[in-house]
Structure 1
Amino acid sequence: MNEILNVNVLAMYFVYGLSFYTMGLAIALQYRSYSSFRMAHSLSLLAAFALLHGFSEWGSVFMPVKVPDFGDFPMWKLIALQRLLQSVSYFFLFCFGIKLVSDTRRQNFFWWLTMPTVAFLAWFLQFSRFIPLIGTDQLIEWLLHSECWSRYLLAFPAGLFTAYGLALQIREVKKINDRSVVANLYAATVAFGLFAFFSGLVVPHESVGWLSHILNAGTFRSATGLPIELFRTATALLSTISITSMLGIFDLEKQRQVTESRRLEAVYKERERFARDLHDDVIQSIYAVGLDLQTSGYLIDRDSDRASRQITTSVERLNKVIHTLRAYIKGLESKGSDQDFKDSLINLIEQFKRETGLQVSFNFPLSPGLYIQPEVDAEDWQQQLRQVIREALNNVVRHSGATMAEVDIRVEGGILKVLVKDNGRGFSSREDPGDDGFRTHLGLRNMRTRVMLLGGEFNLLSGTGKGTGISITIPLNN
């Protein structure tokens, strides 16, 4: 077993570097800086660590293969570069852990940043002592010893702060109620805790302080029978798998944001519908009741019986308004059958005729087996269309000066066609409300909006002395 591990040490270095390089790429490509999770604002530092650390560890794979052909002079350059990349990567991991902790505790990150900065500068001052040793036999040994200081000063605290910072995120991540994400966060916390031990305390040489004599790669292998590279590789794989899997939290967050935006959009549309219904139904009814009561006031002294009947009718209409409001609030409006829809239109027109005295003809042939359903999925389409017809008839009374109106509804070629027209005075093209009219006339705007919500087209037809009409076409499902 030991022989197999000794032969494959370079392979373990390669897998170790590949693991962190994969983590860095995954974070760089997937994380969302606009996320509401605190961890998202620190992940760029973790990506920098993973990419640089992967490159630095690959140096242990390629240097033994490439360097002998060039002699000792290029070797110290490559080792120096590897040590520098390795320490810079630890610095970024240290910053990542510090930022996680400071953001969670809501403290000044720049004050906390002094710790990794001081640690890196202390290591770099020690590392730069190799310059006077260039050309001597002590150069390579000093560069190798500098790795121990890098692990003590940077890797060990970086791993601890990162594990602690990730542990602080558990409470926030639990709010999304996804066990796999929480489990991956726990695994990442454990992985970086192990990283602090295996990569921060187990150093390659025993000549740097008393701790290195007790705990180094040689004593670790003597105690366990396994090389430290195996444990570091396992830790790298665990941290990479857990971190990359945990990135799914941003997709979950995005899905929930989309769901919430759709919910808010539905609420907004419902509010708009309620406002239109209030204008087209409730307010119009209350306005008519007010006119009736005002008329009753004049009739009390002249015709008390007629005034009494009119007041009774007004009370009944107010009760209907109350019933309608309750239906809106409780969502009791139902789409009903096509025959129910036709009957409700007949009741609407009959009530309108009684209230206004206007003659209204109604034509709505229903073929046996006919099923009317607009292409646009709108459960309240019958209510929407009723309100359009109601508003159109109200406009006939208020604006046209007509004595007769006609409501014609039919289905032709998969199209629901609605025509409401009168014999009033009409208006010329110069007086056509056009788009500005739709914006300033609330009734016209509401009618067009309702039709558009059903996927249909709304057209206003008129001419001087030719009356006014509205034409509605709504595509139906087959």
Structure 2
Amino acid sequence: MIGRMSSQRDRSGEKWPPWREQVEAADSGALARVPETRRQALVKLAWVGVWLVYLGAPVSDLADGGHGTLVTAAATLGLAAFVVAYLALVFLRTNTPEKPEPWMYGVLIAQTALSALLSATLGKPWLVLFVYVAVACGAALPFRESRWAVPAVTAVLAAIGAAVDSPGDLYPALLIPALLGGFAMIGVKQLVRTMRELREARETVAHLAATEERLRLARDLHDLLGHSLSLITLKSELAGRMLPDRPGDAAEQVADIEKVSRQALVDVREAVSGYRRPTLTAELAGARTALATAGIGARVHADGPPPGLAPDAEGALAWALREAVTNVVRHSGAGTCVVALTTEGGIVTLTVSDDGRGPAEDQRPGNGLTGLTERLILAGGTLDTGRAGDGGFTLRASVPLDLAPVAADGRRTRE
């Protein structure tokens, strides 16, 4: 269900939420993880490279020639090392859940020290390096560490800026970008990670839904084919015994076999389509027929569902009746079977009891009873089985009665 909702569109025609496609593109592309192919590396390099344009101030300072040759060469090497370290951190640590390796802490400390050295010796154009250090902290460190590292780097920027920028007209303008850049990177990491977890949860829900559908189909086919095939087997045996002396009666049994086979085919198609929901009235009639064909005396104390019984609850009781009668016919060797439907205290109880041999003491419940338990739980009911008083087997299936008032047109209404 969640998987379906996530792909739906709202009334305006846009996918919901509106930023979902952009975040999914970032998460599934090269921007939110370590590049695995050359194309992903180029895309991420292009994205990260756009922000390197703000290094224009220190580059211009070097190009102006205001420093000596040795100082310019050393500063150029320092700036190149800073850029390489920054790219390495952003490439290798973006949205990576693993704990940072020790060398990454060393790189961040080296970047901070290099930024402080270049800014203190070459002047205020180099203060912008601290913004990149703050962003690198947000990208490389986990949240519990980056939330303190970003303000710490900004504090170092403020301290050095106060020393090298005496008029104070530049470094205050860098404090907010440093804070916003670092915390924006933290926020993006958290957002992408959340979207990734939501995607994994959606896949899990889809897998569980598929598993539940397979279980539903298995339950339906087991109950449908078990009952139908048991009835076909009984009628075939009966027709075989009648054929030599009573061919007319045998022909009637063969006609019944054809009807049961056709109905079984319809039931299987409905089960596969997900629309199969038996009714108590139909199953009570089928129970009388199946028991009579097997030569078992049937005492049925029920005519149909009580008023106010929800369709899901009625379907669960109908499945229980079908499975119970099938077990009586196939396994019990009983001479009599009693079916009763009672209502007491807002609970509807179906009881099927026989006087057969019953199951062994150490016999485990089969697939049919296990499926019944699952059906009744989904309908808010319970299943209870045990030996009958005369040595046979008793099955009790209970579901809550829908106590909503019934309107004149037959529809249930609620206050």
User: Counterpart of 1:59?
Assistant: none
Q: AA paired with 1:261?
A: T
Q: AA paired with 1:382?
A: E
Q: AA paired with 2:361?
A: D
Q: TM-score, normalised by structure 2?
A: 0.57
Give the alignment of 1:397-408 within 5 angstroms. Answer: 397-408=329-340
1:101 and 2:91 matched: yes
Give the alignment of 1:110-149 within 5 angstroms. Answer: 145=120
1:432 and 2:366 matched: no
User: Counterpart of 2:395?
Assistant: 470
Which SS does the other structure have where 1:247 is aligned? helix
Give the alignment of 1:216-235 within 5 angstroms. Answer: 217=165, 226-235=169-178
Instruction: Kindly state the Cα deviation for residue 272 of structure 1 after the two structures are TM-superposed.
Output: 1.5
CA distance 1:114–1:300, shift in 2 (3 Å) = same
CA distance 1:422–1:320, shift in 2 (3 Å) = same
User: Counterpart of 1:244?
Assistant: 187
CA distance 1:228–1:382, shift in 2 (3 Å) = same
Q: CA RMSD in A?
A: 5.2
Gapped regions of structure 1 (runs ≥ 5)? 1-34, 42-86, 128-141, 167-191, 207-215, 336-340, 374-378
Residue number among 207, 211, 214 corresponding to 1:268 in the alignment: 211
User: Counterpart of 2:309?
Assistant: 372
Q: Give per-residue Cα distances to partners, 1:105-162, cap 9 Å, x unaligned.
A: x9xxx9xx999968976996999xxxxxxxxxxxxxx897368699589657758989
Which SS does the other structure have where 2:337 is aligned? strand
Q: AA paired with 1:442?
A: N
Any conservation in 1 of the 2:32–2:192 contact (CA below 8 Å)?
no
- Distance, in Å, in 1 between the alignment partners of 2:91 and 2:379 is 53
CA distance 1:365–1:285, shift in 2 (3 Å) = closer
Q: Give per-residue Cα distances to partners, 1:57-109, cap 9 Å, x unaligned.
A: xxxxxxxxxxxxxxxxxxxxxxxxxxxxxx9xx98x986752442478x9xxx
Q: AA paired with 1:456?
A: G
Q: Give per-residue Cα distances to partners, 1:157-200, cap 9 Å, x unaligned.
A: 7589899x99xxxxxxxxxxxxxxxxxxxxxxxxx9xx9xxx8x
User: Counterpart of 2:287?
Assistant: 349
User: Counterpart of 1:51?
Assistant: none
Instruction: Kindly state the Cα deviation for residue 263 of structure 1 after the two structures are TM-superposed.
Output: 3.9
- Distance, in Å, in 1 between the alignment partners of 2:172 and 2:93 is 33
Instruction: Kindly state the Cα deviation for residue 323 of structure 1 after the two structures are TM-superposed.
Output: 0.5
CA distance 1:267–1:243, shift in 2 (3 Å) = same
Q: Give per-residue Cα distances to partners, 1:197-244, cap 9 Å, x unaligned.
A: xx8xxx9599xxxxxxxxx957xx8xxx94331243245236535743
Any conservation in 2 of the 1:95–1:158 contact (CA below 8 Å)?
no
Gapped regions of structure 2 (runs ≥ 5)? 1-26, 35-77, 141-149, 404-415
Any conservation in 1 of the 2:334–2:356 contact (CA below 8 Å)?
yes
- Distance, in Å, in 1 between the alignment partners of 2:28 and 2:301 is 57
Which SS does the other structure have where 1:265 is aligned? helix
- Distance, in Å, in 2 between the alignment partners of 1:251 and 1:122 is 30
Give the alignment of 1:23-42 within 5 angstroms. Answer: 39=32
Q: TM-score, normalised by structure 1?
A: 0.50
User: Counterpart of 2:347?
Assistant: 415
Any conservation in 1 of the 2:227–2:322 contact (CA below 8 Å)?
no
CA distance 1:256–1:125, shift in 2 (3 Å) = closer
Which SS does the other structure have where 2:364 is aligned? helix
Residue number among 360, 376, 392 corresponding to 2:298 in the alignment: 360
Counting matched residue pairs gives 313
Any conservation in 2 of the 1:293–1:311 contact (CA below 8 Å)?
yes
Instruction: Kindly state the Cα deviation for residue 321 of structure 1 after the two structures are TM-superposed.
Output: 1.1
CA distance 1:319–1:297, shift in 2 (3 Å) = same
Any conservation in 2 of the 1:411–1:417 contact (CA below 8 Å)?
yes
Q: Give per-residue Cα distances to partners, 1:357-410, cap 9 Å, x unaligned.
A: 323232337798x3124xxxxx74433321211111122223332222121112
Any conservation in 2 of the 1:419–1:471 contact (CA below 8 Å)?
yes
Q: In proportion to residue count, which structure has more helix?
A: 1
- Distance, in Å, in 1 between the alignment partners of 2:181 and 2:110 is 30
User: Counterpart of 1:71?
Assistant: none
Percent sequence identity over matched residues? 21
User: Counterpart of 2:14?
Assistant: none
CA distance 1:473–1:146, shift in 2 (3 Å) = farther
- Distance, in Å, in 2 between the alignment partners of 1:420 and 1:235 is 76
CA distance 1:253–1:344, shift in 2 (3 Å) = farther
- Distance, in Å, in 2 between the alignment partners of 1:382 and 1:95 is 69
Instruction: Kindly state the Cα deviation for residue 412 of structure 1 after the two structures are TM-superposed.
Output: 0.8
Instruction: Kindly state the Cα deviation for residue 320 of structure 1 after the two structures are TM-superposed.
Output: 0.8
CA distance 1:397–1:454, shift in 2 (3 Å) = same
- Distance, in Å, in 2 between the alignment partners of 1:334 and 1:469 is 24
Q: Give per-residue Cα distances to partners, 1:305-334, cap 9 Å, x unaligned.
A: 444333332222111111111111212235
- Distance, in Å, in 2 between the alignment partners of 1:353 and 1:114 is 79
Q: AA paired with 1:387?
A: W
Larger Rg: 1
Any conservation in 2 of the 1:94–1:158 contact (CA below 8 Å)?
no
CA distance 1:297–1:96, shift in 2 (3 Å) = farther
- Distance, in Å, in 2 between the alignment partners of 1:467 and 1:115 is 74
Which SS does the other structure have where 1:419 is aligned? strand
- Distance, in Å, in 2 between the alignment partners of 1:334 and 1:241 is 54
Any conservation in 2 of the 1:426–1:465 contact (CA below 8 Å)?
no
